Chains A and B, each alone.
Chain A
């Protein structure tokens, strides 16, 4: 029995054991048991993923498990990479659940929620190892249903949760239907449901069919990845679900959309046409820009992180799109580079977003609010959470020495080398993509400074924030684990390059044998070199040296009330809040964001020149949602109203409809 099989069985067994123990045990030990069984399940999946990424192959066909089609499983380096990511995130989330769900027995600690958590994790692990269309679709739907139920965990607390559930259910089912049609059509045309059969028969699929299948797959997979304009579920579901679920969804689940696109586009359809990848890159660019501008002005900490997920997924899709275009243009060096950047960014985003959502969850648990305008001052009451969140923010802002910087560096390098005979499309697209990445990085920095600076520093702006207490040790340990993953990816990203090159070779982007030169401590692209370790050492050692030298030369530090230009004693109402911090940026992007503002001025009775009270209310709507989805929902609703007479409750009439439909299908079938 090879290591992949053993680890995967262990992961599945532990996950099922977790679900069963949640059913059997009482609330005092339930969360701890589920958490402590889910964590090793994740670790086992990560081991399987690492082995598969390292080249261990394994496959299993179980025709008896599912009627008609059976279950087919297999691993290759691509599925191994995503399995590793999912396993690591699951392990961190499992540890986090112990403290987060706690012993109170409601909310995330309720029995249904704890039963579903390990099952959700297991369905996440099933998707990348599926080796046939039915198995993939079953895993996909299990993942959608379990995550939907987990999003609804706290539906009794707020109507917004139910709203989020409806949006998520609608869009995820739309995606599923698109996938179902596309993949079944592909399996039908290519000659069999298993991936091996499709791969073999893909040459016989004509270009038009392949394009339609790819577009349907794009709807399904990019929608799951949270790409604009299929994103409206994402800020809602990520914000309203419990934070351990947000972490799993944002860090692991959305990456499976990327996995699906890679599997379908490169592996099953064999590369397709350049315009597929241009379209994908455009979707990525729009997601990145739209996501980060929305994140920059969000005041809800989890909504901000969710839009930042859209942004990062956009960057990943941009990399995948360029990998496809480069491969079509015959520039295999750049193709491998772009794919490596995308896959590395997927891992980096998994690591820092798990950390950030865990940190946000700790804050929400301690203060009861997600509104950054009402937070602040947590650096004194929750020092560990603050430092860890700040570390995650550094990575997410793509600043050196964070791990996000490394993958954005690789992405920029891949865009710099379109090659001498790249053709007009790439020659124009690559510089524009550089501009998109650069603009995203700039706004991202402002976004995360806002999150750390107004969320955690200065004075508390509400009573709950003032009386917050540090999270239980298990949550801090989980955040430390995610932080260590970030550090490892920041310091030795070179270790992943051989695996990423092998994946690129498997996807037929490049001839076998890596083209990105890398050693443990350096990434080399043409003449440019990045030494991640030396950057880290330089910054840390330099800062320490300056601080120590300055202290040695000077006198001891004093504490005194802030001067603030000699004004009176400061109150927390004078501080900058998240809204005020983002106001200049919001003004810059006023035309894009179109915020809705209400200012109510109440005048004093005596004179209208005297103001008694001013109320300011601002909401930044999602314009894509308002422009695309609202009219659609309205149209569907009015259509529903209009056809209501057709459904008058008569069973005979319904039977008649079914007969007509059956006849119509038969007639079409015969005529064709």
Chain B
């Protein structure tokens, strides 16, 4: 039963992810006064791309071919194990350090693929992505660590369950600091404004797009899908860590239905908020980004100290 729920949760996230992307685009278009595309457009793009043959650059090796499956597989693993709809995860595999590591592994695979193409843009994107990842990873680890101090465990399911059963325990100074830090880290990790602009194709500002420039057809579909999935995963984690209401803590059909509905509503709300924020904010210059990330790191460190000292 647990296995079925976990797999169902992964399928839900995989299906939902392109719609989340579509939602951010739709909200953004509406706020900018455009009609925009329909919610399901990312799915249609994926379907079209999946049917086309991929092209490998002549200098590329196995690393280029392997990166999209690795990226998608690591994202799917997180989608299976982490508590999004229900907290009964698989065999405690939803350890938050493992989750951070898995997400980073996907980013590393893509960065190596960018370098593997031998193009200037691929290298540029990889270099920038890894710089940002190097500065984001400590923040991610620290802020979730601040939350785990409260529970005494790094098991995500335990953290979310504790929040779901005692909603008042979520509102602590440490939680607020950690939420701010984690929100900035999420923006950076997903390549959103102000760290990166997902809709840019201006060479000098690209980060994520520069790495995946050489991908086409099926490979590109996998990369795009995985990116959407990572966005959904991080928004879902943010939602469930700081607003764990509605998460199914036991496996009854009603609880699961409520959990699914609550999850979709929370992620949809956060995605809309993200899009609205992107309309209002401007992208930072690349070399201002470390300042932002250092700020979020400081917030996370304060969160851990607050959690340790204030209890």
Binding site for B on A (CB under 8 A): 296, 377, 379-380, 390, 397-400, 405, 409, 412-413, 416-418, 427-428, 430-432, 434-435, 438-439, 441-443, 445-446, 449-450, 452-454, 457-459, 526-531, 534-535, 538-539, 542-547, 550-551, 553-565, 570, 572, 574-576, 580-585, 587-588
If A418-B308, A458-B59, A562-B58 touch, does A539 touch B77 (CB 8 Å cutoff)? yes
What residues on B are CB-neighbors of A572 within 8 Å?
A: 118
Residue pair A435, B142 in contact (C-beta under 8 Å):
yes
Other A-B pairs, 16, CB within 8 Å; known A434-B141, A576-B115, A576-B122: A379-B61, A400-B105, A434-B142, A435-B300, A449-B115, A457-B112, A458-B118, A459-B118, A527-B152, A528-B154, A535-B93, A538-B77, A546-B69, A564-B120, A575-B120, A588-B135
B111 CB within 8 Å of chain A = yes
In whole angstroms, how far apart are the Cα atoms of A583 and B144 in the complex? 29
Q: Which residues of B contact A534 (CB under 8 A)?
A: 91, 93
B258 an interface residue at 8 Å Cβ cutoff? Answer: no
Q: Is the pair B72, A558 in contact by a Cβ cutoff of 8 Å?
A: no
Given contacts A428-B308, A556-B53, contact A443 B134 (CB under 8 A): yes
Contact of A588 among B131, B137, B307 (CB under 8 A): B131
Please measure, in the bound complex, the distance between the C-alpha atom of A418 and the C-alpha atom of B311, giving whole angstroms: 12
Interface 0/1 of B126-148, CB less than 8 Å to A: 11101101111111011001001
B121 adjacent to A531 (CB under 8 Å)? no
* Residues in A whose Cβ lies below 8 Å from that of B218: 550-551, 553-555
The answer to whether A546 touches B72 (Cβ under 8 A) is: yes
B301 lies within 8 A of A435 (CB): yes
Q: In the assembled complex, which residues on chain A have CB atoms less than 8 Å from the CB atom of B127?
A: 576, 580-584
A residues near B151, Cβ cutoff 8 Å: 527
Q: Give the distance to chain B from A342, nearest Cβ to Cβ, in Å.
A: 17
Q: Which of B69, B92, B221 contacts A543 (CB 8 A)?
A: B69
Interface assignment of B184: CB less than 8 Å from any CB of chain A: no
Among residues of B, the one whose C-beta sits closest to the C-beta of A452 is B112
* Distance between B135 CB and nearest chain A CB, rounded to angstroms: 6
Q: How far, in whole Å, are A551 and B217 apart by their CA atoms in the complex? A: 11
Shortest C-beta distance, A195 to chain B (Å), equals 38
Give me 17 A-to-B residue pairs in the complex whose CB atoms sit less than 8 angstroms apart, sorted by A's number.
A377-B59, A418-B308, A431-B142, A438-B141, A445-B130, A446-B134, A449-B111, A531-B91, A538-B93, A542-B73, A559-B57, A560-B56, A564-B119, A570-B119, A581-B115, A584-B287, A587-B287
- How far apart are the CA atoms of A450 and B154 in the complex, in Å? 30
Q: A416–B73 contact, CB under 8 A?
A: no
- Taking a contact as CB atoms under 8 Å apart, the answer to whether A547 and B69 are in contact is yes
- CB contacts (< 8 Å) of A564 on chain B: these are 117, 119-122, 213-214
| C-alpha gap A580/B98 in the complex (Å) | 30
Flag if B137 contacts A413 (CB, 8 Å).
no
A453 to B151, CA, bound (A): 40
Partner of B308, one of A397, A431, A559: A431
A557 to B58, CA, bound (A): 12
Question: Which of A399, A454, A553 has its CB near the most chain B CB atoms (within 10 A)?
Answer: A399
Which chain B positions have C-beta within 8 A of A574? 119-120
Question: In the complex, which of the residues A457, A529, A560 contacts B55, with contact meaning CB atoms closer than 8 Å?
Answer: A560
* Complex-state Cα separation, A270 to B113, whole angstroms: 52
In contact, B92 and A528 (Cβ under 8 angstroms): yes
A296 to B56, CA, bound (A): 29
Q: Are the C-beta atoms of B153 and A400 separated by less than 8 Å?
A: no
Pair A527/B104 contact, Cβ less than 8 Å: no
**Does B97 lie within 8 Å of A409, measured CB to CB?**
yes
Whether B152 lies near A454 (C-beta < 8 A) is no
Instruction: Judge whether A558 and B53 touch: CB under 8 Å.
Output: yes
Cα distance, A523 to B74, chains bound together (Å): 21
CA distance A434 to B140 in the complex (A): 12
Given A449-B111, A559-B58, A562-B57, the answer on whether A412 and B97 have CB atoms closer than 8 Å is yes
Instruction: Indicate whether B124 reaches chain A with its CB closer than 8 angstroms.
Output: yes
Is B65 an interface residue, CB under 8 A from the partner? yes
Whether B309 contacts A557 by the Cβ 8 Å rule is no
Which single residue of chain B is at the shortest CB-CB distance from A422?
A: B308
In contact, A555 and B52 (Cβ under 8 angstroms): yes
> Which residues on the B side are within 8 Å of A585 (C-beta)?
131, 134
- Find out whether the CB atom of A527 lies under 8 angstroms from the CB atom of B73: no
What is B's interface to A at a CB cutoff of 8 Å?
A: 50-63, 65-66, 68-70, 72-74, 76-77, 91-93, 95, 97-98, 101-102, 104-105, 108, 111-112, 114-124, 126-128, 130-131, 133-139, 141-142, 145, 148-149, 151-155, 158, 203, 213-214, 217-218, 221-222, 286-287, 290, 297, 300-301, 304-305, 307-309
Main secondary structure of the interface of B (DSSP, over half): helix
- Chain A residue numbers with a CB within 8 Å of B213 are 563-565
With the chains together, A458 CA to B214 CA distance in Å? Answer: 13
Q: Out of B70, B136, B153, B304, which one reaches A527, CB within 8 Å?
A: B153
A458-B95 CB under 8 A given contacts A438-B138, A553-B50, A560-B55? no
Contact status A539-B59, CB under 8 Å:
no
Residue of B52, B101, B124, B286 with most chain A CB atoms under a 10 A cut-off: B101
CA–CA, A588 and B287, complex, Å? 8
**CB-defined contacts of A575 to chain B, threshold 8 Å:** 118-120, 123
Per the bound structure, the CA–CA distance linking A296 and B145 in Å amounts to 25
**Whole-angstrom distance between the Cβ of B77 and the nearest chain A Cβ:** 5
Complex CA distance for A634 and B137, rounded to whole angstroms: 42
Q: Is the CB of B116 within 8 A of A457?
A: yes
Residues on the A chain within 8 Å of B130, using CB = 445-446, 449-450, 581
Q: What residues of B have a CB within 8 angstroms of the CB of A452 in the complex?
A: 112
A434 lies within 8 A of B304 (CB):
yes
Determine which of A400, A432, A557 lies in contact with B54 in the assembled complex, contact meaning CB atoms within 8 Å: A557
B95 near A530: Cβ-Cβ < 8 Å = yes
What is the CA–CA distance of A67 and B151 in the complex, to the nearest angstrom? Answer: 60
What are the 6 closest A-B residue pairs judged by CB atoms, nearest first? A576-B123, A542-B73, A453-B115, A527-B153, A562-B57, A458-B118
Known: A453-B115, A458-B59, A560-B57. Contact between A431 and B305, CB under 8 A? yes
Q: Of the candidates A431, A438, A531, which one forms a contact with B137 in the assembled complex, judged by CB atoms under 8 Å apart? A: A438
A545/B117 in contact, CB under 8 A: no
- Specify which chain B residues have a CB less than 8 angstroms from the CB of A557 in the assembled complex: 53-56, 65
Which residue of B120, B136, B217 is within 8 Å of A442 (Cβ)?
B136
In the docked arrangement, what's the CA distance between A453 and B102, Å?
Answer: 19
Q: Is the CB of B98 within 8 A of A400?
A: yes
**Set of chain A residues within 8 Å of B97, measured between Cβ atoms:** 409, 412
The chain B residue sitting closest to A458, CB to CB, is: B118
Cβ–Cβ contact B115 & A458, under 8 A? yes
Task: Give CA–CA (A584, B127) in the complex, Å.
Answer: 7
Report the bound CA distance from A380 to B63 in whole Å: 12
CA distance A445 to B105 in the complex (A): 9
Find out whether the CB atom of B119 lies under 8 angstroms from the CB atom of A562.
Answer: yes
Contact B105 A399 (CB under 8 A): yes
Of the candidates A417, A450, A528, the one whose C-beta lies within 8 Å of that of B155 is A528
Please judge, given known A-B contacts A400-B105, A418-B308, A434-B141, whether A449 and B112 are in contact too, CB under 8 Å.
Answer: yes
CA distance A412 to B146 in the complex (A): 12
Select one of B77, B115, B217 contacting A454, CB under 8 A. Answer: B115
**Do B73 and A560 touch (CB < 8 A)?**
no
- Bound-state CA distance A449–B101 (Å) is 15
Are A546 and B126 touching (Cβ within 8 A)? no
Chain A residues near B142 (CB-CB < 8 A): 431, 434-435, 438
With a CB–CB cut-off of 8 A, which chain B residues contact A379?
61-63, 116
Q: How far is the CA of A452 from the CA of B66 in the complex (A)?
A: 15
Say yes or no: A559 contacts B120, CB within 8 Å.
no
* Minimal beta-carbon separation of B256 from chain A (angstroms): 23
Docked-complex contact B95 and A529, CB < 8 angstroms: yes
Across-interface contacts of A544 in B (CB, < 8 A): 69
Residue of A nearest to B291 (CB): A588
Residues of B near A442 (CB, < 8 A) are 133-138
In the complex, which residues of chain B have a beta carbon less than 8 angstroms from the beta carbon of A561? 57-58
Q: How far is the CA of A555 from the CA of B52 in the complex (A)?
A: 7
CB contact under 8 A between A581 and B123, given known A457-B63, A562-B59:
yes
B residues within 8 A CB of A449? 108, 111-112, 115, 126, 130
Q: Bound complex: CA of A641 vs CA of B51, how far in Å? A: 80
Determine which of B111, B137, B139, B141 lies in contact with A453 in the assembled complex, contact meaning CB atoms within 8 Å.
B111
